[in-house]
C-alpha cells in the first residue's frame, strides 16, 4: 500500500514518510504503545521510550478483531482488537489506553489479557475551570506509574526537553498545514496524511527535519494548480492505510486543503505552552495541550468544532466542509445534524459522509462527491460575479 502511494507522489522527500509507514516499527522493547491523541507523548519520551501511537484503521485487522469484540463495533475498536493478536503488540512493555470513548474503555479490559495496559482516565468534562486539575492529577499518576514500573527518573528537565522537541514538531506541522492551505495542489492530501501517520513511528526530531525538507522541495517545484474546489476535512481520523476517502475525493476532483481530524491536526497542531517550568506547571500545560485544546467528540466540544470549522473556512477561503463519520463510531455520528445546523447559520456548506473501511461503496461516494463539486462550482461562480 505504502509503495503504491509512494509511486504516485510527485515529491521525492515524501518517500521518507511512506518508508516509515512500510517499515517494521521500532523494536517493541523501546516503545510504549498508546491510543488517541489524549495521551501525553512528552511524558513517555521523558521516560526514555518511543511513544508509538497504535491507532489503526485497517480493514484486515478489523475483520480479525471481530472475533474479540462485536461485529457491530466501531472499525477502530475492531482494528485495535485485531492488532492485539500481532506479535509486535504482544511484546510491547506497556500500552496506554485513555478512557475517551466507550470502545477504548472496554478495550482497556480486553487487551489487558494479552499485554500490560495502563488505563488513563481523562473524564468527560472539557472545561478548564472544572477539569484542569483533574487532568493534571491523572497525568501525574501516569508519570509516577512509569517511574515506579520501569525504575526511571523521567525528570523535569527531560520533560522540558521533550516539550521543546514536540514544539518544534508542531512548528513544522503548522508550517506544512498553512503552506498546504495557502498553496492549492502543492502537496497532495496523500502525502500530508502519510506524513501525519508517519509521525506515530518517527521520533519528533527526524520527523521535523523531514517535513521541512518536504516543504523546501515543494517550494522549489512548480505548482500545478488544479482549480478544484478546496475542502476542509473534519470528523473521524484518516489513518494509514485507510485512505479510501482521500481516493474518492481525488477521483471526484475535490481537494482536501486542510483538516481537523485527530490523526493529523489533533495530533500535531497544538503546542505545549509552558507557563511555569515546575513539574506541576508542566503537567498542567500538557493537560491543556492534549485535553483542553482537543476537538475530540468524546467531550462536549461541538461548539468548539463549529468555531474551528468556520475559522478555517474563512481564514483559508475554503469552499466547503466534508464531515467524515466512520460508520458505527457513535460520538462522531451523533453530532452530525447539530453541526450541520450550526454551520448552515454560518453559510458554510457541509457534506456528511458516513462510511466504513470496506471498499464496496466507492462508486456511491464518488457520485455524492461529484454532486457536491457541482454545487460548489456553481456557488464559486456566483461568488465570482
Side-chain-side CA neighbours of residue 344 (13 Å): 7
CB of 91 to other proteins, least distance (A): 36
Q: What is the Cα–Cα distance from 317 to 320, expressed in whole angstroms?
A: 9
Q: What is the Cα–Cα distance from 320 to 334, expressed in whole angstroms?
A: 21
Nearer to other proteins, 69 or 305 (CB): 305
Angle at 221 between CA 215 and CA 223, to 5 degrees: 100
Q: What is the Cα–Cα distance from 77 to 86, expressed in whole angstroms?
A: 15
Residue 132 binding other proteins, by CB under 8 A: yes
Provide the mask over 264-283, with x wherever binding to other proteins is found by CB under 8 A and - wherever it is not.
Answer: ------xx-x-xxxxxxx--
From 121, 217, 307, 361, residue interacting with other proteins (rule: CB under 8 A): 307
Residue of 282, 291, 284, 52 lying closest to 154 (CA atoms) = 282
Q: What is the Cα–Cα distance from 69 to 46, expressed in whole angstroms?
A: 34
Total binding residues toward other proteins, as defined by CB under 8 A: 33
Residue 19 to residues 197, 232, 290, 291, 332, Cα–Cα distance (Å): 12, 27, 28, 31, 31
Residue 182 binding other proteins, by CB under 8 A: no
DSSP 361: T
Residue of 29, 150, 149, 21 lying closest to 88 (CA atoms) = 29
Residue 75 binding other proteins, by CB under 8 A: no
Nearer to other proteins, 40 or 103 (CB): 40
CB of 237 to other proteins, least distance (A): 18
Nearer to other proteins, 182 or 276 (CB): 276
Nearer to other proteins, 18 or 173 (CB): 173
Residue 304 binding other proteins, by CB under 8 A: yes
Nearer to other proteins, 107 or 260 (CB): 260
From 254, 288, 331, 372, residue interacting with other proteins (rule: CB under 8 A): 288
Residue 137 binding other proteins, by CB under 8 A: no
Residue 289 binding other proteins, by CB under 8 A: yes
Q: Please return the burial class of 105, using the count of CB atoms within 10 Å of its CB with bins 0-12, 13-18 and 19+.
A: middle
Provide the mask over 211-250, with x wherever binding to other proteins is found by CB under 8 A and - wherever it is not.
Answer: ----------------------------------------
Residue of 39, 25, 44 lying closest to 104 (CA atoms) = 39
CB of 244 to other proteins, least distance (A): 29
From 106, 158, 174, 368, residue interacting with other proteins (rule: CB under 8 A): 174
Residue of 337, 374, 377, 376 lying closest to 354 (CA atoms) = 337
Contacts with other proteins by CB under 8 A lie at 126-129, 132-133, 156, 171, 174, 270-271, 273, 275-281, 284-285, 288-289, 292-293, 295, 303-304, 307-308, 310-311, 314
Amino acid at each position: 500500500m505504502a509503495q503504491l502511494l509512494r509511486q504516485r507522489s510527485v515529491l521525492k522527500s515524501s518517500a521518507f514518510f511512506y518508508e516509515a509507514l512500510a517499515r517494521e516499527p521500532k523494536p517493541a522493547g523501546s516503545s510504549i504503545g498508546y491510543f488517541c491523541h489524549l495521551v501525553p507523548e512528552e511524558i513517555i519520551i521523558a521516560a526514555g521510550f518511543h511513544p508509538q501511537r497504535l491507532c489503526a484503521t485497517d480493514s484486515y485487522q478489523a475483520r480479525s478483531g471481530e472475533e474479540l469484540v462485536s461485529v457491530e463495533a466501531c472499525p477502530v475498536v475492531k482494528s485495535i482488537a485485531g492488532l492485539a493478536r500481532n506479535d509486535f503488540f504482544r511484546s510491547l512493555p506497556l500500552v496506554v489506553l485513555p478512557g475517551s470513548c466507550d470502545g477504548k474503555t472496554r478495550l482497556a479490559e480486553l487487551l489487558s489479557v494479552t499485554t500490560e495496559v495502563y488505563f488513563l482516565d481523562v473524564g468527560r468534562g472539557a472545561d478548564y475551570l472544572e477539569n484542569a486539575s483533574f487532568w493534571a492529577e491523572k497525568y501525574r499518576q501516569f508519570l509516577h506509574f512509569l517511574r515506579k514500573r520501569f525504575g526511571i527518573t523521567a525528570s523535569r528537565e527531560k520533560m522540558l526537553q521533550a516539550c521543546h522537541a514536540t514544539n518544534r514538531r508542531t512548528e513544522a506541522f503548522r508550517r506544512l498545514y498553512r503552506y498546504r492551505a495557502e498553496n492549492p495542489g502543492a502537496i497532495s492530501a496523500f502525502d500530508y496524511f502519510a506524513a501525519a501517520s508517519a509521525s506515530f513511528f518517527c521520533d519528533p526530531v527526524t520527523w521535523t527535519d523531514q517535513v521541512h525538507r518536504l516543504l523546501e522541495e515543494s517550494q522549489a517545484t512548480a505548482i500545478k494548480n488544479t482549480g478544484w474546489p478546496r475542502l476542509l476535512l473534519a470528523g473521524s481520523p484518516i489513518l494509514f492505510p485507510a485512505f479510501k476517502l482521500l481516493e474518492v475525493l481525488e477521483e471526484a476532483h475535490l481537494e482536501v486543503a486542510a483538516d481537523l481530524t485527530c490523526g493529523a491536526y489533533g495530533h500535531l497542531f497544538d503546542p505545549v505552552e509552558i507557563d511555569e517550568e515546575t513539574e506541576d506547571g508542566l503537567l498542567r500545560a500538557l493537560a491543556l495541550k492534549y485535553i483542553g485544546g482537543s476537538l475530540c467528540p468524546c467531550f462536549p466540544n461541538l461548539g468548539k468544532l463549529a468555531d474551528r470549522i468556520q475559522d478555517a473556512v474563512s481564514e483559508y477561503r475554503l469552499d466547503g466542509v466534508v464531515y467524515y463519520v466512520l460508520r458505527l463510531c457513535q460520538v462522531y455520528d451523533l453530532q452530525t445534524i447539530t453541526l450541520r445546523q450550526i454551520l448552515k447559520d454560518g453559510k458554510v456548506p457541509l457534506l456528511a459522509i458516513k462510511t466504513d473501511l470496506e471498499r464496496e461503496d466507492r462508486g456511491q461516494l464518488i457520485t455524492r462527491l461529484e454532486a457536491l463539486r457541482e454545487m460548489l462550482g456553481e456557488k464559486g461562480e456566483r461568488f465570482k460575479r
